[in-house]
Amino acid sequence: MKKRRGIYSELGDYHKNIDKKWAYYPIFLSKMKFLDEFFKDIPKKFNILDAGCGEGFLVEKFRSLGYKNFSGIDKNYSSKYVRKGEISRLPYNNKSFDVVLCLDSLQYLSFKNQEKAINEFRRVLKEKGTLIVTIPNLKHFAARLYRLIKGKWKPTDSKTFPIGDRAAGEYVNMLRENGFKIMERRGWFPTYFIICSLLIKKFPDKLVWLYNLINTFAIPGLSYINLIVCEDDGI
């Protein structure tokens, strides 16, 4: 039985029924493309956890593709394959998973709990296991301009106001300091193409092609979203 709280009570299965007019629809497509390509090389027998999985969209998608050991956890949602719980206190045994995903969730934790969550990810990952994180970058280019003009940082989400907003580089350092080796880092939605960025947010469904074009010039530290792929360094 599905149980919802918070944003999922209000928005329902908004990832499953994606609105192409959503300002960040092109970023959603980037995320899906990356995951589709990543999982082509992942054995279907692997144990996979989506930490902070929301309404379980990815869990259901990849289970339907044969990844029967793909499960999720979220504090505001539970279902047959999604467990209710905090990602800073994972209810799993040590070295339980080959892959852990944490997509657009860490920013909603306090700074203290972000580090706890990262330590939990490492605890439940098998040796040389893979962690994939996506996070909004507090200090993307347009946010720096905003701070220059307004004298303060603009939240990465003005509707939900993430309490743990950070610069992407701080997440990278925190991952390294807590035993992860960075294997790959990408930027999505560079905001230094200001007019392009504004147009894409206004017409997201029509300007996916423009988003893809400017993304080829993305600098992670100046882009709105960062993708970080890391590995337990075994130390």
Domains contained in the chain, CATH given: 3-232 (3.40.50.150)
Q: What is the pLDDT of residues 161-216, one digit of tens each?
A: 899 999 999 999 999 999 999 999 999 999 999 999 999 999 999 999 999 999 99
Over residues 41-85, the pLDDT tens digits come to: 999 999 999 999 998 999 999 999 999 999 999 999 888 999 999
Would you state the pLDDT for residue 25?
96
Separation between Cα atoms, residue 219 and residue 47, nearest integer Å: 32
pLDDT, position 17:
72
Q: Which residues contact 233 (CB under 8 A, 6 or more apart)?
A: 179, 180, 181
pLDDT tens track for 18-38:
889 999 999 999 999 999 999
The pLDDT score that the predictor gives to residue 36 is: 97
Q: What is the DSSP letter of 155?
A: P
Average pLDDT on 109-124 reads 96
Stretch 118-140: mean pLDDT, rounded? 96
Q: Is 133 a residue whose pLDDT tops 60?
A: yes
What was the pLDDT predicted at 232? 84
- Whether residue 7 has pLDDT greater than 90: no
Q: pLDDT class for 120, splitting at 50, 70, 90?
A: very high
* CA dihedral over 139, 140, 143, 149, signed as positive or negative: positive
pLDDT of residue 10: 53
Q: Pick from 134, 118, 127: which is nearest to 58 by CA?
A: 134
Cα distance between residue 56 and residue 156, in whole Å: 23
| pLDDT for residue 11 | 53
Q: What is the pLDDT of residue 3?
A: 56
Residues 6+ away with beta carbon under 8 Å from 5: 75, 76, 77
Q: What is the pLDDT of residue 159?
A: 85
Q: Is 90 helix (H, G, I), strand (E, B) or coil?
A: coil
pLDDT at 2: 57
Identify any residues that bridge with 231 across adjacent strands, giving them in sequence order: 130, 181
pLDDT above 70 (res 234) = no
